[in-house]
Amino acid sequence: MARARTSSTQVEPNGAGMAAILAAGIGCAALGIFDFLGDAFASVGRFFSFYAPVGTLSGVTDSAILVWLLSWFVLAKRWSGRNVVLGHCFLAFALLLVGVLFTFPPFIDLLQGK
Amino acid sequence: MEISWRDLLTVLHGMGFGALFMMAFSGAIGELYEAWSASPRTTLDPRGQKMLRLYLTGMVVIAWLTVLSGTYIIYPWYRALPPAGTTDLSAFPRSLLLSSPHTSGWHNVGMEWKENVAWMAPIVMTMVAYVYWKYGRGINKHPDMRRAVLVFTAVAFIATGIAGGFGVFLNKNAPVRGGATIQLMQGE
């Protein structure tokens, strides 16, 4: 993972911002993937039922938020005060797309052969 | 003129929080684009930048209130299972929708998508507000990062539109009703 310390004191390094962007992408992808897993596997669905009145949705969203915040914390710790390669933007877009696709019911039905 | 307690909270979730959040996007996208454009027509003064920071922070609060109220207050009423032998499903919206092939898609596609995709909006808008607080106009030095934030904001807007649009149609086909009756006005 290429990264370099900033050479200019006038330009705020992009690391903190990129950490927030990539973490948001990771959180959205986690949301979609957890939704898919909860839908595809009954045992996973039961595991994600953290709060019975809400069912699987409670665990899917709580877990995705946990993944998002943890990944943000870790990335920010690693990248703050540094400039990181902008390829992470494309990774963040890809993860966002994964999140959107995996929350779209016809797509996850297709994956499950329904 | 009466409404039920559940009507009131559903309106608070959908109109009070959700619609307000949706409308706020037009201001946020325009302001962010202008503030972060390579050659802005006007330069935001410190007060303007502070206002935009507060505006985005307000959006974040409303976004979280929308999804939390929807998931933990409205959704349990929506998905409640009717007791065995119940023939009138009007108090059980999910079961009512699934009882007919003409309406089941509203749940199987509409609610199933809405309940998850909506959560992307607060995650993304929290990131957007953070980046603006952190960089302000300085993000112009990082054009790719600026573009990424604007794309994420647009996707959050679309996700909110999906959730809000399906929310309206779901509530038209199977309204969440019940609880104490609130009399708003005496009829003639």
**B138–A contact, CB cutoff 8 A:** yes
Instruction: Note whether A57 and B115 are within 8 A (CB).
Output: yes
Residue B44 pLDDT > 70, yes or no?
no
Query: Which of the four pLDDT bands, split at 50, 70 and 90, describes residue B32?
Result: confident
Say whether A54 and B149 touch across the interface (CB within 8 A): no
Closest CA to B97 of B18, B176, B164, B165: B176
Q: What is d(CA A47, CA A58) in angstroms, rounded to the nearest whole number?
A: 10
Would you state the structure tokens that stand for residue B7, as one six-digit string? 């009507």
Q: Name the minimum distance, in Å, from the CA of B92 to any CA of chain A.
A: 13
Of A17, A28, A60, the CB nearest to B142: A17
- Note whether A76 and A20 are within 8 A (CB): yes
Q: Does B75 touch chain A (CB under 8 A)?
A: yes
Q: What single-letter DSSP state applies at residue A9?
A: S
CB contact under 8 A, A51 and B72: yes
Chain A contact for B149, CB < 8 A?
yes
The better pLDDT of the pair A11, B169 is held by B169
Complex ipTM value: 0.90
Cβ–Cβ below 8 Å for B145 and A17: yes
DSSP letter for each residue of B115-133: HHHTTHHHHHHHHHHHHHH
Distance between CA atoms of A24 and A72, rounded to whole angstroms? 8
pLDDT tens sequence across B93-124:
999 999 999 999 999 999 999 999 999 999 99
- Alpha-carbon gap, residue A15 to A4, rounded angstroms: 10
Q: Smallest CA–CA separation between A26 and chain B, in Å?
A: 10
Distance in angstroms (rounded) separating the CA atoms of residues B131 and B123: 13
Chain segment B61-104, per-residue pLDDT in tens: 999 999 999 999 999 999 999 999 899 999 999 999 999 999 99
Which of B60, B112, B113, B123 should be substituted to probe chain A, the one whose Cβ sees the most A Cβ atoms within 10 Å?
B123
Q: Does A113 touch chain B (CB under 8 A)?
A: no
- Whole-number pLDDT of residue A17: 95
Planar angle of CA A8, A12, A18, nearest 5 degrees = 125
Contacts of B183 (CB under 8 A, 6+ apart): B1, B2
Contact B25, B121 (CB under 8 A): no
Q: Residue A4: which pLDDT band, with cuts at 50, 70 and 90?
A: very low
C-beta separation of B24 from B66 below 8 A: no
- Calculate what percentage of chain A has a pLDDT beyond 70: 91
Which helix (H) or strand (E) covers residue B66, if one does? Answer: helix B46-69
Would you tell me which residues 26-65 of chain A have a C-beta closer than 8 angstroms to some C-beta of chain B? 27-28, 31-32, 35, 51, 53-55, 57-58, 60-61, 64-65
Q: Which of B39, B61, B56, B148 has its CA nearest to residue A18?
A: B148
Chain A residues with beta carbon closer than 8 angstroms to that of B144? 86, 89
Q: What is the pLDDT of residues A31-89, one digit of tens each?
A: 999 999 999 999 999 999 999 999 999 999 999 999 999 999 999 999 999 999 878 88
Enumerate the H helices of chain B as residue ranges.
Answer: 5-11, 20-36, 46-69, 75-79, 93-98, 104-105, 112-117, 120-135, 143-173
End-to-end CA distance of chain B: 10
**Whole-number Å distance between alpha carbons of B184 and B11:** 14
Measured between CB atoms, which of B109, B117, B131 is closest to A20?
B131
* Cβ–Cβ pairs < 8 A, chains A and B: 99
How far apart are the CA of B25 and the nearest CA of chain A, in angstroms? Answer: 18
Is the Cβ of B142 closer than 8 Å to some Cβ of chain A? yes
Residue by residue, DSSP assigns A35-65 as HHHHHH-HHHHHHT-SBTTTBHHHHHHHHHH
CA distances from B23 to A32, B17, B66, B156 (A): 25, 10, 13, 13
Q: What are phi and psi of A13, to 5 degrees?
A: -60, 150
Decide if B116 and A35 are in contact by the 8 Å CB cutoff. yes
- Helices and strands in chain A: count of H runs, count of E runs: 5, 2
Structure tokens at B60: 């974040």
